[in-house]
Amino acid sequence: MDVMLLAGTRPEALKLAPLALALDAHPALRPVLVHSGQHPGMVEQALEPFGLAADVWLDVPPRVTGGQAELVAGLLPALDDVLRRHAPAALVVQGDTTTTLAGALAAFWLGIPVVHLEAGLRTHDLAAPFPEEGARQMVSRLAALHLAPTLGAAAELRAEGVARQRIAVTGNTVVDAVLEIAARDLPARDTALALLEMEIAEAGERLVLVTSHRRESWGEPLERTLAAVQLIVAEHPDVQVLFPAHPNPEVRAQVEAALDGLPRVTVTDPLEYPDLVRALRLASLVLTDSGGIQEEAPTFGTPVLVLRDVTERVEVVEAGCAWLVGTDTERIADTAAHLLSGELRPAQVGNPYGEGNAAVLAVAAIEELLGVGSPARNQAVAS
């Protein structure tokens, strides 16, 4: 049986990669990786460290406006065609992107079971994050199987009326991904990161990693974050800042205008995933609006300041691994100072998003959905 995995963005590809590897080892299920084309180049980059590549590329017209309506209008006919031709036993979509929503719609219309990886995340505010909160709520209405990363996510789904037997708590596959890449301990490929790593080691300095990519963070919120970065550098002479900047030209220009020429600040292009994992391991502190980094950093005990007013990843805050600070300049700088001074310390409780076995648990749930099992599993049941 073919199980189709749909990815259009880097985070989707990273979280689907462990599941693709687990399915590839299965005797009865075969993964088919489909690239929607939402972010050309990024999906390939994310899959490559895992030895994976897309099996199918959607034939989507080039985007002109870059709007959501244009993207969906291109994706739906292409998805419908691919799903009809391949007739997979199920379609796995991940998270809350436009690709995820379009894939769920196309599969639902054809009667193909939709498996939602990382299901049940909620802020209950359709404006934050936008449009992700709306997308994941809509996908939840269509999914046949909900792979929830935490007990809290499963509880959210049950509160919305999803039947318990359609929910499997698996942990988050990004923990599988980060552990696999970290175990390889690959040297930095980005020249700036490699040089920065040497400087920090020689001078006994500390690294603060900063990322800000969400659309709602652009403009004034990012300006406040950049002002906080300036304060952190000024107040902590042993700190080096690494800021992999969003590729959007306006965002990159805003970052460079605020940080160019500032001592002990390095602005780079977005890092390849092995380099990002290396930076997370090296960092003493992370400032981010990224959902994935909130899930990855606890693996290394790295404290996180979440540059958002609300987060759907409440477990990391409740566990004492992260602090929700928004984009208020003083609040960011003050909380960073408390962490860098040791007055605040992250709880050493492990990663609330799992231990690295999420893909195995997800495959077991998909087996049950499709009515198949591995020989070993069948023998265990029989005995």
324-331 LR contacts (CB < 8 Å, sep 24+) = 327/217, 327/221, 327/222, 327/224, 327/225, 328/224, 329/224, 329/225, 329/227, 329/228, 329/231, 330/228
- pLDDT at 20 exceeding the cut of 70: yes
Q: Considering the domain boundaries, does residue 194 fall inside one?
A: yes
Residue in the block written with tokens 């997800």: 362
- pLDDT beyond 80 at 377: no
In 10 A of CB 79, how many CB atoms?
Answer: 27
Among the listed residues 224, 236, 246, 313, the single catalytic one is: 246
User: Is 118 annotated as catalytic?
Assistant: yes
276 falls within a domain: yes
In a domain, 346, yes or no: no
Average pLDDT over residues 307-335: 95
Q: If you ran DSSP here, which 8-state letter would residue 342 be given? A: T
Please answer whether residues 358 and 170 qualify as being in contact, where contact means their C-beta atoms are separated by less than 8 angstroms: yes
* pLDDT in the model for residue 379: 37
Long-range pairs for 216-224 at CB < 8 Å and ≥24 separation? 216/128, 216/129, 216/130, 217/289, 217/307, 217/308, 217/327, 218/248, 218/250, 218/251, 218/254, 219/254, 221/307, 221/327, 222/251, 222/254, 222/255, 222/327, 223/254, 223/258, 224/327, 224/328, 224/329, 224/332
- Please tell me the least confidently modeled range out of 85-94, 219-228, 372-381: 372-381
Pair (258, 213) in one structural domain:
yes
Do the beta carbons of residue 294 and residue 280 sit within 8 Å?
A: no
Residue 301 contacts by C-beta under 8 Å, 6 or more apart in sequence?
Answer: 346, 348
Query: What local confidence, expressed as pLDDT, does residue 214 receive?
Result: 76
Q: Please give the Cα distance from 323 to 239 (Å, whole number).
A: 20
27 occurs within a structural domain: yes
Selecting among 63, 189, 215, 345, the annotated active-site residue is 215
298 and 273 within one domain? yes
Q: Which residue has the tokens 């175990």?
A: 183
Burial of 65 (0-12, 13-18, 19+ CB in 10 A): exposed
pLDDT of residue 374: 56
- Is 260 annotated as catalytic? no
Q: Which residue is catalytic, options 12, 96, 272, 296?
A: 96
Active site residue 86: no
Share of the chain above pLDDT 70, in %: 97
| DSSP-based three-state secondary structure for 281 | helix
204 and 330 in a single domain? The answer is yes
Among 52-61, 151-160, 241-250, 252-261, name the one with the lowest average pLDDT.
Answer: 241-250
Alpha helices in 87-219 (DSSP H): 98-109, 132-142, 151-159, 173-184, 191-203
Q: Average of pLDDT values for 275-288? A: 97
Task: Find the farthest-apart pair of alpha carbons in the chain and give their distance in angstroms, rounded.
Answer: 68
The pTM score is 0.90
**Range 121-141 average pLDDT:** 95
Quote the pLDDT of residue 59: 87
383 pLDDT tier (thresholds 50, 70, 90): very low
Is 213 one of the catalytic residues?
yes
Per mean pLDDT, which range of 32-36, 242-246, 352-356, 371-375 is the poorest? Answer: 371-375
Q: Among 86, 89, 85, 82, which residue's Cα sits nearest to residue 106?
A: 82
Domain count within the chain: 2
How big is the CA angle at 115 (ends 103 and 176), to the nearest 5 degrees?
110
25 plus 157 within the same structural domain = yes
* Residue 166 and residue 277 in one domain: no
Token pair recorded at residue 235: 């107040």
Tell me which residue range forms the domain holding 62. Answer: 2-171+356-370
CA 334 from chain center: how many Å? 27
Q: Would you state the pLDDT for residue 6?
A: 98
pLDDT at 9 over 70: yes
Paired tokens of 58: 């959607």
Whether 269 is catalytic: no
Mean pLDDT of 175-200: 95
218 — pLDDT class (breaks 50, 70, 90): confident
Note the pLDDT of residue 217: 76
Residue 3: the pLDDT is: 98
What is the distance between the alpha carbons of residues 311 and 331, in angstroms, rounded to a whole number? 17
Percent of the chain with pLDDT over 90: 85
Is 242 in the same domain as 166?
no
Q: How far is CA 166 from CA 122, 123, 240, 243, 372, in A?
A: 18, 22, 47, 41, 16
Whether 379 maps to a domain, the answer reads: no
Residue type, 313: R
From residue 29, alpha-carbon distances to 19, 90, 117, 383 in Å are 11, 10, 17, 23
Which of 12, 116, 118, 312 is catalytic? The answer is 118
Q: Are residues 366 and 305 in the same domain?
A: no
Q: Is 93 part of any domain?
A: yes
Check whether residue 167 and residue 203 sit in a common domain.
no
pLDDT the model gives residue 93:
98
Instruction: Please say whether the beta carbons of 277 and 182 come within 8 A.
Output: yes
Q: Kindly tell me if the per-residue pLDDT of 46 is higher than 70.
A: yes
* All residues at 6 or more sequence positions from 310 whose CB lies less than 8 Å from its CB, including other chains: 123, 125, 128, 324
The yes-or-no verdict on residue 39 having pLDDT over 90 is no
Same domain, 143 and 33: yes
Give 381: exposed, middle or buried? Use CB within 10 Å, 0-12, 13-18, 19+: exposed
Please check whether residue 351 lies inside any domain of the structure: no
pLDDT digits (tens, 9 = 90+) for 52-76: 999 999 988 888 888 899 999 999 9
Candidates 308, 295, 306; CA nearest to 353 is 295
Query: Residue 50 domain-assigned?
Result: yes
**Known catalytic membership, residue 216:** no
We report the CATH number of the domain holding residue 55 as 3.40.50.2000
Residues 159 and 208 in one domain: no
The catalytically annotated residue of 12, 35, 122, 132 is 132
Verify that 240 and 335 share a domain, yes or no: yes
| Catalytic hit among 213, 252, 281, 377 | 213
Are both 296 and 366 inside the same structural domain? no
